[in-house]
Amino acid sequence: MADNNINSNSNGNGNGNINSNSNSSNSNNNINSNGDSSSNNRIWKALRLAWRAIARVFGLLAISAKMDLAWLLRDTKYAALGICGDVVNNAATVSGVFLIASRFDGIGGMSADETLLMMAYSTMVTGIFTLFGAGNNIHVSRIIGRGQLEHLLVQPLPLGVQLATSGFAPFTGGSNLIAGAALLAVAAGRLGLRITLPWLAALAAYLLATMAIIVARSYLVSSAAFYAPAAAEEISSDAIEGTWILSTFPLSGMPRFVQIPLLTIMPEGLMAWFPSLCLLGRPPLGMAAYYPMAFALLASLAANLVFRKGLDHYARKGSNRYVPHGFRR
């Protein structure tokens, strides 16, 4: 009898332990599965939000492109004159340097074909600028100085999204980009460069960094228009076009006391000369090939800080370009 009681008790305890262990493991599995499903739901939600944001940006770019096409079709003569004017203006700017390089078999250690590559890069930068900056969204001091920023602030879209998409003009502003790409292909063929995917990725990265520097410098100086709208209305034009001619000239033959300021204080050397030499595989002055990217990052951070501070001042003080009845001074 005692043995039977012991066996029955041991069997009962064993079954209880097994059941309790199985129950705890099932609860752990349920917790893990619930945790995995909730994390997956958060990931999918974030992806959906990102996709909606990207789709919204492309939709706004499509609206700007439609408006650009409407202007081209409605006023074809003047649109064509504008396109031709952009091409001629840029060709006149870069051809002079290339002709000098051809006549004297290079400039400052750069051959005529290498100079042509630099001119092609400069033309592509100009093309990207006119492609995405047709609505004064890069010359932002004009928007601020003319009291037009309120027109953007009342829209149900973030200010940054509007500024990034409002100047897209693929039909009337892309001619220089196409011409620059054609010049780049010619220069690469004459130099015997191997056009590989890494090289194209480097080209895209340098173009992005160059545009970031241009936009950052424009927004940095345009912050003055928050405090003096009338006086600083065209300050972005002076910052961009005022010294642009320097960016089309090779700095290879210049002394260091000229090169260093043009790579730091006035970064005209980063507009075409430095990236072109990096694409040729020989970064100048012993500097790292990623220097333009680092400079673009620092310039963008500085511009963001100063622009936000000016915007806060503008939100508190407003614009003095309007009288109480709304008429512009």
Name residue, tokens 């076009």: 241
C-alpha closest to that of 117 among 270, 246, 279 = 279
Looking at the domain assignment, is residue 5 inside a domain? no
What separation in angstroms does the CA of 195 have from each of 187, 203, 208? 11, 10, 19
| 250 domain-assigned | yes
| 35 within a domain of the structure (yes/no) | no
**Measuring CA to CA, which residue among 130, 310, 48 is closest to residue 319?**
310
Cα(206)–Cα(162) distance, rounded to whole angstroms?
25
Evaluate whether residue 289 is within a structural domain.
yes
Of the candidates 272, 214, 213, 218, which has an alpha carbon nearest to the alpha carbon of residue 90? 272
Dihedral of CA atoms 159, 161, 164, 169 in degrees, nearest 10, equals -110
| Interval 196-254: pLDDT, tens | 999 999 999 999 999 999 999 999 999 999 998 888 999 999 888 877 778 888 888 88
Domain hosting 62: range is 44-317
Choose the weakest-confidence range: 222-226, 257-261, 284-288, 324-328: 324-328
CA–chain centroid gap for 202, Å, is 15
Q: For 267-318, how does the pLDDT look when each residue is reduced to its tens digit (9 = 90+)?
A: 999 999 999 999 999 999 889 999 999 999 999 999 999 999 999 998 888 7
Q: What is the C-alpha separation between 275 and 44, in angstroms, rounded?
A: 39
pTM: 0.82
DSSP classification of residue 227: T
Read off the pLDDT of each residue in 56-60 and give the average, rounded to a whole number.
Answer: 92
β-bridge mates for residue 328, sequence order: 322
Q: Are 302 and 215 in contact (CB under 8 A)?
A: no
Q: Count the domains in the chain.
A: 1
Domain membership of residue 16 (yes or no) is no
314 vs 283: CA distance, rounded Å = 42
CB 303 within 8 A of CB 267: no
Residue 72 lies in a domain: yes
In a domain, 26, yes or no: no
Give Rg (Cα) of the chain.
30
CA 285 to each of CA 200, 242, 251, 274: distance values in angstroms, whole numbers, following the listed order = 23, 26, 11, 10
Q: Which amino acid is at 71?
A: W
Q: What angle do CA 90, 93, 97 make, to 5 degrees?
A: 135
Tokens at 93, concatenated: 């700017």
Q: Evaluate whether residue 328 is within a structural domain.
A: no
25-40 pLDDT per residue, tens: 555 555 555 556 777 7
